Copies of this chain bind each other. A is one copy, B any other.
Amino acid sequence: MNNKIPYKIYLEESELPKAWYNVRADMKTKPAPLLNPGTGKPMTLEELSGVFCTELAKQELDNDTAYIAIPEEILDFYKMYRPAPLVRAYFLEKALGTPAKIYYKFEGNNTSGSHKLNSAIAQAYYAKKQGLKGVTTETGAGQWGTALSMACSYFGLDCKVYMVKVSYEQKPFRREVMRTYGASVTPSPSDTTKVGREILEKFPGTTGSLGCAISEAVEAAVTHEGYRYVLGSVLSQVLLHQSIIGLEAMAACDKYDIKPDIIIGCAGGGSNLGGLISPFMGKKLRGEADYKFIAVEPASCPSLTRGSYAYDFCDTGMVCPLAKMYTLGSGFIPSANHAGGLRYHGMSSVLSELYDEGLIEARSVEQTSVFEAAQQFARVEGTLPAPESSHAIRVAIDEALKCKETGEEKTILFGLTGTGYFDMVAYQKFNDGEMSDYIPSDEEIAKSLANLPKL
Seen from chain A, the residues whose Cβ lies within 8 Å of a Cβ on chain B are 1, 6-8, 10, 12-13, 76-77, 79-81, 91, 109-111, 113, 150, 153-154, 172-173, 176-177, 179-182, 375, 378-384, 419, 421-422, 424-425, 427-428, 431
Contact = CB atoms under 8 A, between A and B. Distances in A.
A115 B178 CA distance: 25
Contact of A91 (B7, B80, B422): B80
A86 B346 CA distance: 42
Contacts of A425: 173
B431 A7 contact: no
Contacts of A179: 428, 431
A317 to B, nearest CB: 30
A111 B13 contact: no
B422 A180 contact: no
Nearest to A431: B179
Contacts of A12: 6
A176 B379 contact: no
Given A1-B79, A80-B381, 17 more contacts: A1-B76, A7-B13, A7-B80, A8-B13, A8-B79, A10-B10, A91-B154, A113-B421, A153-B379, A154-B380, A173-B425, A176-B431, A177-B384, A177-B421, A177-B424, A180-B427, A180-B431
Contact of A421 (B182, B380, B421, B427): B421
A375 B180 contact: yes
Contacts of A91: 80, 154
Given A8-B13, A180-B375, A421-B422, A384 B111 contact: yes
A8 B13 CA distance: 8
Number of copies: 2
Contacts of A111: 378, 382-384, 419
Nearest to A178: B431
A79 B113 CA distance: 21
Contacts of A153: 379
A455 to B, nearest CB: 44
Give the 5 A-B CB pairs with smallest separation, nearest first.
A173-B424, A421-B421, A6-B13, A7-B79, A176-B424
A379 B419 CA distance: 20
A185 to B, nearest CB: 11
A427 B414 CA distance: 34
Contacts of A10: 10
Contacts of A173: 173, 421, 424-425, 428
A156 to B, nearest CB: 10
Nearest to A383: B111
Nearest to A173: B424
A340 B12 CA distance: 35
8 contacts: A7-B79, A80-B91, A80-B382, A91-B154, A173-B173, A173-B421, A180-B375, A180-B378
